[in-house]
Amino acid sequence: MHRIHHAASTLVLILLLIPFLASCAALQEIANLRNVDFAIDGVTDTNLAGVDVQSLQGYDDLNALEIGRLGVALARGEMPLSFTLNLGASNPETNSVNARLVQLDWTLLLDDTETINGIFNDERVIPPGADVLIPISMELDLIQFFGRNLEDIVNLAAAIAGQGSSEIALRARPTVTTPIGPITYPSEITIVSQQVGN
């Protein structure tokens, strides 16, 4: 009878410890993500109102047809820019377990101007010592944030593509998966702020 009581007491203690151990594991997941290094690893597929600007140096590289196409978009009062922001995530070798990112709420800043926001929710596992690419598709209307000067808009789009100088910053709120479920950071963190281009 004493053995049964002792076994029951041990089981109760184990059950009480499970949430504590899970919480420790959750904290470790968050600690690992905080140790991950994030940086812009290039911008690709840059398109401005139907014009491929990925390899343009600036407005002067446009041909007459492209200028006409952009002029039509400007007359309509819109200048949509779409691109893929490649976010590199590097988990240090010193981490003992994977960093598992399940969601990233983000806000894009261009030259210190806050623009669009979105959610990346394609799970990424970042093993210790590994680099993982996180491609984030973005689209915004440059007129809404930067006015209607066509030359300035084209030069900004080219700079974002990497053919000039433009500051890109990404503020984000990560969500990590843990043994006790998903945990979202309580506040935004700046995970990348990088000068791209020349």
Confidence at residue 74, expressed as pLDDT on a 0 to 100 scale: 96
Token digits of residue 171: 């503020």
Q: How many residues does the chain have?
A: 198
Average confidence (pLDDT) over 175-198: 69
Helix (H/G/I), strand (E/B), else coil: 27: helix
Average confidence (pLDDT) over 93-105: 85
Confidence at residue 20, expressed as pLDDT on a 0 to 100 scale: 45
Max mean pLDDT range (20-29, 78-87, 119-128, 172-181): 78-87
Of 96, 92, 94, 120, nearest in space to 106 by CA = 120
Q: Give the chain's mean pLDDT.
A: 82
pLDDT digits (tens, 9 = 90+) for 118-132: 999 999 998 889 999
Token digits of residue 163: 């053919």
Confidence at residue 179, expressed as pLDDT on a 0 to 100 scale: 64
**Contact assessment for residue 194 and residue 37, using Cβ atoms and an 8 Å cutoff:** no
Rounded-to-integer distance, Cα 192 and Cα 168, Å = 8
Q: Where are the alpha helices (DSSP H) in the chain?
A: 2-35, 64-75, 142-146, 150-158
What are the structural domain ranges in the chain?
2-197
Rounded-to-integer distance, Cα 66 and Cα 70, Å = 6
pLDDT digits (tens, 9 = 90+) for 13-66: 444 434 544 456 666 666 666 677 888 888 999 999 999 999 899 999 999 999
